[in-house]
Amino acid sequence: MEKERHIRIFDTTLRDGEQSPGVALSLDQKLEIAQALARLNVDIIEAGFPVSGPLEFEAVRRIATEVKGPIIAALARTHTLDIDQAAKALEGAEKPRIHVFTSASKVHLQYMLKRTEEEVLEMADRMVRYAKRYVDDVEFSAQDVMRADWDFVKRLYEVAVEAGATTINIPDTTGYGTPEEYGALIRRIRDEVVRGRDVVISTHTHDDLGLATANALAGVLNGAGQVECTINGIGERAGNTALEEVVMALYVRRDFYRAYTQVNTREIYRVSRLVERYTGMPVPPNKAIVGDNAFAHESGIHQDGVLKHRSTYEIMDAELIGRRPAVLVLGKHSGRAAFKKALEDLGYRDLPEEELKKLFARFKEIAEKKGPLSAEELQALVESEREPPPISSSWSTSSSSPAPASCPPPR
Ligand SMILES: [Zn+2]
């Protein structure tokens, strides 16, 4: 059987993710996120693009000096000044990586770089060699590969590998590719460019068509050994590949991908919330893995199943990513089994069948009007519907009833 492969997780929340419209992280926030990413045990943190400004430079410098564990990468165009600045910002890093990038598509060459193919090839060769004078670990990328001509793509990456690039990244910058095409591209890079040499192929996919994760995983299936991604999938336009989706897909479906990551999955939820808070980009409730509803069940049939055995409607435990166990939402779709369980959790055990029936009917009425009920609301409902308990005169005249002994915290 084929040996399982280690897939490196290259987090670019602080570089590509920070390019999300409207996001501007402070130096302290960047450092805190980088520390959280180190606890998450990602393999590489792309800390920023040092030449783009003094604040960015300082952020990369501080992260390189203070964050231990992962490789710290800095981005540079194919210019000596960019590479000098990246190298300088990375001076304090134990494991520095310079990430040199250019473009591959005709439209990028013509309108952005204003260079011919021959000029781009020559610069890529010279600048990868230049970066190698500073560090051994050099990554090379060409933007917009998906829309470029294969002959040029092949020559460009060939030049980068010959010049010493140890990782070659294949960006679908515009989110244009389909999983079949992107997978085939990665396979072609593996078979016609890398050809057994010790070079890691990396995926970099965007979510414009909602295919970022699918494309990255197609890359993994076809020989990629690194995935570039961001927490919560933040990034320009529709965003980058979501780290949590790729990591958990490889975890849950390790049998299929025959590949694994070294990410400490139990930190995922915490980092997701931190990035949500600092970037001000809210995670949608239905977002895979980290959304509020990702482990919530409301429909009666699902709740009944989950109460009997969680695996009936769940493919992974919430605890695995550092969340609280699955939540049964008590709403209009809920059934009697979940309702009874919720009452038991509140301390109302052994209620007579007749009373339970009455309470359930009342609960449905309320839930249909106002939506799901919290634990407190459920308790209030029970108390208002039940026979008033006999008042023992020597105690108090207060009409509030004591909380049941095992009242769980509100959900
Ligand atoms: Zn990108």
CA distance 337 to 297: 13
Ligand 1 midpoint to CA 387 (Å): 63
Which of 17-21, 117-121, 379-383 reaches the highest mean pLDDT?
Answer: 117-121
Q: Average pLDDT for residues 128-152, to the nearest whole number? A: 96
Ligand 1 midpoint to CA 173 (Å): 5
Asked if residue 328 is part of any domain, the answer here is: yes
Ligand 1 midpoint to CA 154 (Å): 20
End residue of a domain, out of 253, 279, 305: 279
Please report which confidence band the pLDDT of residue 335 belongs to, taking 50, 70 and 90 as the band edges. Answer: confident
Ligand 1 midpoint to CA 240 (Å): 6
- CA dist list (Å): 96 to 178, 186, 325: 33, 26, 39
Asked if residue 410 is part of any domain, the answer here is: no
Ligand 1 midpoint to CA 125 (Å): 22
Query: Contact, 250 vs 257, CB < 8 A?
Result: yes
Please report which confidence band the pLDDT of residue 1 belongs to, taking 50, 70 and 90 as the band edges. Answer: low
CA distance 48 to 73: 8
Ligand 1 midpoint to CA 126 (Å): 24
Asked if residue 409 is part of any domain, the answer here is: no
Asked if residue 260 is part of any domain, the answer here is: yes
Ligand 1 midpoint to CA 229 (Å): 9
Q: Are residues 166 and 81 part of one domain?
A: yes
Ligand 1 midpoint to CA 235 (Å): 7
Contacts for 405 with CB less than 8 Å, ≥ 6 apart? 347
Q: Are residues 38 and 170 part of one domain?
A: yes
Instruction: Determine the pLDDT at residue 233.
Output: 97
Query: What is the distance in angstroms between the CA of the first residue and the CA of the last residue of the chain?
Result: 46
Q: How many CB atoms lie within 10 A of CB 363?
A: 24
Q: Are strands 96-103 and 71-77 parallel, antiparallel or unpaired?
A: parallel
Ligand 1 midpoint to CA 345 (Å): 47
Ligand 1 midpoint to CA 323 (Å): 29
Ligand 1 midpoint to CA 10 (Å): 12
Tokens linked to 58: 């300082």
Q: Are residues 308 and 273 part of one domain?
A: no
- Using alpha carbons only, give the angle 288, 313, 216 rounded to the nearest 5 degrees: 30
CA distance 97 to 100: 10
Query: Is the pLDDT confidence value at 34 over 60?
Result: yes
- CA dist list (Å): 16 to 77, 99, 259: 14, 13, 25
CA distance 29 to 26: 5
Dihedral sign for Cα atoms in the order 44, 47, 51, 52? positive
Segment holding 161, helix H or strand E:
helix 150-163
Strand locations in 53-187 (E): 71-77, 96-103, 138-143, 167-172
Within 13 A of 253's CA, how many CA atoms are on the CB side? 11
CA distance 246 to 244: 6
Ligand 1 midpoint to CA 41 (Å): 22
Instruction: Determine the pLDDT at residue 342.
Output: 87
Ligand 1 midpoint to CA 168 (Å): 14
Instruction: Determine the pLDDT at residue 337.
Output: 86
Ligand 1 midpoint to CA 264 (Å): 24
Asked if residue 312 is part of any domain, the answer here is: yes
Ligand 1 midpoint to CA 107 (Å): 17
End residue of a domain, out of 247, 279, 311: 279
Query: Is the pLDDT confidence value at 297 over 90?
Result: no
Ligand 1 midpoint to CA 258 (Å): 26
Within 13 A of 303's CA, how many CA atoms are on the CB side? 21
Asked if residue 75 is part of any domain, the answer here is: yes
Query: Is the pLDDT confidence value at 400 over 90?
Result: no
Ligand 1 midpoint to CA 207 (Å): 10
Instruction: Determine the pLDDT at residue 98.
Output: 98
Ligand 1 midpoint to CA 227 (Å): 12
Q: Are residues 122 and 160 part of one domain?
A: yes
Q: Average pLDDT for residues 373-387, to the nearest whole number? A: 84
- CA dist list (Å): 92 to 60, 77, 82: 10, 21, 18
Q: Given phi > 0 = left and psi -120 to 50 = alpha, else beta, which region is 95? A: beta
Ligand 1 midpoint to CA 175 (Å): 9
Q: Are residues 257 and 226 part of one domain?
A: yes
User: Of 5, 55, 7, 11, nearest to 33 (Cα)?
Assistant: 11
The pLDDT tens digits for 176-207 are 999 999 999 999 999 999 999 999 999 999 99
Instruction: Determine the pLDDT at residue 60.
Output: 98
Ligand 1 midpoint to CA 392 (Å): 70
CA distance 158 to 168: 10
Instruction: Determine the pLDDT at residue 388.
Output: 62
Q: How many CB atoms lie within 10 A of CB 84?
A: 16
Q: Are residues 121 and 73 part of one domain?
A: yes
User: Of 407, 401, 403, nearest to 346 (Cα)?
Assistant: 407
Q: Average pLDDT for residues 275-279, to the nearest whole number? A: 97
Q: Average pLDDT for residues 17-30, to the nearest whole number? A: 92
Asked if residue 334 is part of any domain, the answer here is: yes
Q: Are residues 170 and 21 part of one domain?
A: yes
Asked if residue 67 is part of any domain, the answer here is: yes
* Position with higher pLDDT, 157 vs 348: 157
Ligand 1 midpoint to CA 16 (Å): 6
Ligand 1 midpoint to CA 208 (Å): 11
CA distance 56 to 49: 7
Q: Are residues 227 and 361 part of one domain?
A: no
CA distance 199 to 139: 10
Beta bridge partners of 238: none
Please report which confidence band the pLDDT of residue 226 belongs to, taking 50, 70 and 90 as the band edges. Answer: very high
Instruction: Determine the pLDDT at residue 44.
Output: 98
| Residue 267's CATH number | 3.20.20.70
Query: Is the pLDDT confidence value at 244 over 90?
Result: yes
- Using alpha carbons only, give the angle 10, 20, 296 rounded to the nearest 5 degrees: 75
Query: Is the pLDDT confidence value at 387 over 70?
Result: no
Within 13 A of 139's CA, how many CA atoms are on the CB side? 29
Ligand 1 midpoint to CA 306 (Å): 39
Q: Are residues 141 and 266 part of one domain?
A: yes
Q: Are residues 269 and 169 part of one domain?
A: yes
Ligand 1 midpoint to CA 99 (Å): 13
Ligand 1 midpoint to CA 37 (Å): 19
User: What proportions of the chain, in percent to the nearest 5, are helix, strand and coil?
Assistant: 50, 15, 35
Ligand 1 midpoint to CA 205 (Å): 7
* Position with higher pLDDT, 19 vs 398: 19
Instruction: Determine the pLDDT at residue 305.
Output: 85
Query: Is the pLDDT confidence value at 404 over 80?
Result: no
Ligand 1 midpoint to CA 204 (Å): 6
Instruction: Determine the pLDDT at residue 390.
Output: 56
Ligand 1 midpoint to CA 214 (Å): 16
Amino acid at 385: E
* Position with higher pLDDT, 13 vs 399: 13
The pLDDT tens digits for 84-121 are 999 999 999 999 999 999 999 999 999 889 999 999 99
Ligand 1 midpoint to CA 315 (Å): 30
Mean pLDDT, the chain, as a whole number?
A: 91
Q: Are residues 273 and 133 part of one domain?
A: yes
Q: Are residues 26 and 131 part of one domain?
A: yes
Query: How buried is residue 41: exposed, middle or buried, by Cβ count under 10 Å (0-12/13-18/19+)?
Result: middle
Structural domain count, the chain: 2
Lowest-pLDDT range of 69-73, 78-82, 379-383: 379-383
End residue of a domain, out of 279, 308, 324: 279
**What is the domain range of residue 175?**
5-279
Ligand 1 midpoint to CA 268 (Å): 21
